[in-house]
Amino acid sequence: MHAIVEQLKSTVAATAATDIRAAFASDPKRFERFSARMDDLLMDYSKCAVNDEIMVQLEKLCAEGGVAAKREAMFAGEAINFTEGRAVLHTALRNRANTPVVVDGKNVMPDVNAVLHAMSGFAEGVRQGTITGSTGKQITDVVNIGIGGSDLGPAMATLALAPFHDGPRLHFVSNVDGAHIADTLKLLQPETTLFIVASKTFTTIETMTNAATARTFIADALGEKAVGDHFAAVSTALDKVGAFGIGSERVFGFWDWVGGRYSIWSAIGLPLMIAVGADNFTEFLSGAHAIDNHFRTAPFRENLPMLLGAIGYFHRNVLDYPTRAILPYDQRLSRFPAYLQQLDMESNGKGVTLDGTPVKGNSGPVVWGEPGTNGQHAFYQLIHQGTSVIPAEFMIAAKGFEPELRHQHELLIANCLAQSAALMKGRTLEEAKGQLLKSGMDAAKADHIAPHRVFTGNRPSITFVYEQLTPFALGRLIALYEHRVFVEGVLFGINSFDQWGVELGKELATGLLPVVQGKAGTDGQDASTTGLVGALSHLAG
C-alpha cells in the first residue's frame, strides 16, 4: 500500500498530471475517458488531476488494499466493526432482492421486512387519518425528536423530497438547547401533533430531554392518558422504550448492526415515510439497492463508489488536500453537506489503524459545503483564489420539478458548469491583463491590478449529473457516498464504523452538569473550565 502511494506521488510529479488545463487541451476525449455512468447518473471526474497511469495505480491500490474482499465481508454480515463486535448491514435494510442475509446464523430479512411492513401500516394510517390524536382529530404535524443519525438523515431526505411530500407537516428537533423545541412547539396544536422519539440507544441526553418536554406539552394540554396517542418511538433498545410509556404497536425497532449514521434506511426513516408515503420510501430504498449491486459488480473504471473513494483518497493522501467541499446545485439538497459531515467525518475521522497503530499519512478530510448558487456569493472566493486547494464535488439534476420555472433551472445549470470550468481553467496573468487593457485601463494600472484577477486554475472537481431528484435518485446518491466512505476507510486502514471520538465530551458533560447547577464545586476542574463556570454563573445572576 505504502509503496503504491509513493509511486502515485512520483507519477504525479513526473507526469505533470496536476496541469488539468493542459490535459484538456491535449486530449479531446478526456471527458469520455474520465467519466463513468450508472443509468442516468453520470460522474465526471475529468476535471481531477488524473491520467491513465494514475487510474491504473489507484485501481492497484484498491486491489492491494483489499477493498473488494472487505466489501464482500460487509455485505456478508461479518463483524467488521470489531471494536464494537458488530456487523455492518445497512445494505440489508434496502435489500429489495430479499436474498438471505445471515447474522449469527439467522437470516435477518424476515425481521427487516416485518418492521418495514409495520412502518408502512403506521405511516399510511397517519397520512390517511385512520390513526388520529387522542381527541380524534387528524394529525397535521409530526415532530421527530432525535439527534445525529436519528435526525440528519430524515431531516435531509424530507427536505430533498419536498415535491413528493403530501403527508402531514414535518418538524425536526435535535438540539438540547431549549430554544429548538420551544420554537417548534410554538407552531403546534397538541391535539393534532404526533411526536416520534428516535434514538438508536434511547439514552441520548438531548433526545431524552426533548422527549420529556414534548411529553409535558401533551400531558398538560390533553391529560396524561393522551400521551400514548401522540407518541411513537424508533430504537434498537426496545426495553428502554417500554419504560417511556409508548405502546408496543407504536414502537419500531432496528438492530445493532445498523450504525446511527447509516440508519435512514431503517425505522429511523419513519418520518420520511409519513411525509412521502410508503411507495416513495420503497423507491428510495430501491435506489440505494441499485448502488449496492453496482458497487459489488461493476469493474473499477465503471464503479462509481470505487472511483469516488479512490479519487477521494488520492486527494487526501497523495495530494494532501485537507478538506473537500460538497456543493449541490439543488436547494432541496441544502442539508446534504451536513448529512455527509456525519457520514464521512464520524466514519473516517480516526487516528489509529485496525491494529491500533497510528494512521500513516492522513485519514478522512474535513467535509463541508452549502448549496450553489448561494455558496458562490459567500465562500467560493477562497475555493478559486485561496492558498489551499479544495476539491469540489458538484451535483445537479437535468430537470427541476417546476416546469414553469425552467429558465431558473437553466440558470442553475449554467452556474454549476461555469464554476467547475472556472476552477479548472483559471485565468492567467496575461489573460487578466489583456482583459483590463481591453476595458480601457492604462498599461501601468493594468500591470498593478492584473495579479489580483489571476485564477491559478487546475483546481479539481467532480460533477454528478442525474435526471431528477426523485426518491430513487436520492437513495442512490446517499448510498453512493456511503460506499465512498467505505472505500476510503479501507484504504486508510481504519474502522469506519465506530465513533469513540464522541464519548469523552459526553462523559465530561455528565460530570459538569452538577457543577453548572451549583450542586457541586469546581474542584478537580481545570482553571479555564473553572473560570468559565464562574463567569456564566455570575452572568446568569
Ligand X SMILES: O=P(O)(O)OC[C@H]1O[C@H](O)[C@H](O)[C@@H](O)[C@@H]1O
- Residues of this chain that interact with ligand X (CB under 6 A) are 147-150, 199-201, 204, 207, 260-261, 346, 499, 502
Pick the closer one to ligand X by CB: 260 or 312.
260
Beta strand residue intervals within 297-390, DSSP E: 323-328, 366-368
Which residue out of 106, 137, 360, 506 is catalytically annotated?
Answer: 506
Q: Which is nearer to ligand X, 258 or 469 (CB)?
A: 258
Q: Which helix (H) or strand (E) holds 252?
A: strand 251-253
Is residue 506 part of the annotated active site? The answer reads: yes
Burial class (CB in 10 A: 0-12, 13-18, 19+), 363: buried
- CB nearer to ligand X: pick between 277 and 349: 349
CB of 502 to ligand X, least distance (A): 4
Of 390, 129, 93, the residue nearest 263 (C-alpha): 93
Residue 200 or 294 with smaller CB distance to ligand X: 200
Catalytic residue among 59, 191, 346, 482, which? Answer: 346
Taking the complex as a whole, how short is the minimal distance between the CB of residue 174 and ligand X, in angstroms? 9
Identify any residues that bridge with 251 across adjacent strands, giving them in sequence order: 233
**Shortest distance (Å) from residue 18 CB to ligand X:** 36
DSSP code at position 197: E
Sheet bearing 392-397, strands edge to edge: 35-38, 41-44, 461-466, 392-397, 323-328, 366-368
Q: How far apart are CA 534 and CA 541, in angstroms?
A: 11
d(CA 428, CA 203): 57
How far is residue 152's CA from residue 323's CA, in Å, rounded to a whole number?
21
Please state the closest distance from residue 246 (CB atom) to ligand X, in A.
15
> Within the chain, how many helices (H) and strands (E) appear?
23, 13
Sign, Cα dihedral of 52, 369, 265, 70: positive
Q: What is the distance of C-alpha 371 from the center of its chain?
A: 14
Helix (H), strand (E) at residue 102: strand 102-103
CB of 377 to ligand X, least distance (A): 32
Q: Is 377 noted as a catalytic residue in this protein? A: yes
Q: Name the residue nearer to ligand X (CB basis): 236 or 376.
A: 236
Gyration radius from the chain CA atoms: 25
Structure-block grid coordinates of residue 189? 396544536
Element (H, E) at 141: strand 141-145
**Are 168 and 126 contacting, i.e. CB atoms less than 8 angstroms apart?**
yes
At closest approach, how far in Å is the CB of 188 from ligand X? 22
d(CA 394, CA 398): 13
Number of neighbouring beta carbons within 10 Å of residue 311: 27
| 3 state DSSP class of 489 | helix
Minimum CB distance to ligand X, residue 176 (Å): 12
Contact of 473 with 401, CB cutoff 8 Å: no
Q: Could you tell me the three cell numbers for 532?
A: 468559565
- By the 8 A CB rule, do 196 and 271 touch? yes
**407 Cα distance to chain centroid:** 29
Q: Which of 377, 407, 452, 538 is catalytic?
A: 377
Nearer to ligand X, 65 or 260 (CB): 260
Whether residue 346 lies in the annotated active site: yes
Q: Could you give the CA distance from residue 90 to residue 263 in angstroms, rounded to a whole number?
A: 7
C-alpha cell belonging to residue 55: 487510474
**Nearest residue (CB) to ligand X, 429 versus 502:** 502
Shortest distance, CB of residue 260 to ligand X, whole angstroms? 3
Is the CB of 199 or the CB of 458 nearer to ligand X?
Answer: 199
CB of residue 210 vs ligand X: minimum separation in angstroms? 11
Nearer to ligand X, 348 or 499 (CB): 499
Give the catalytic positions in this structure. Answer: 346, 377, 506
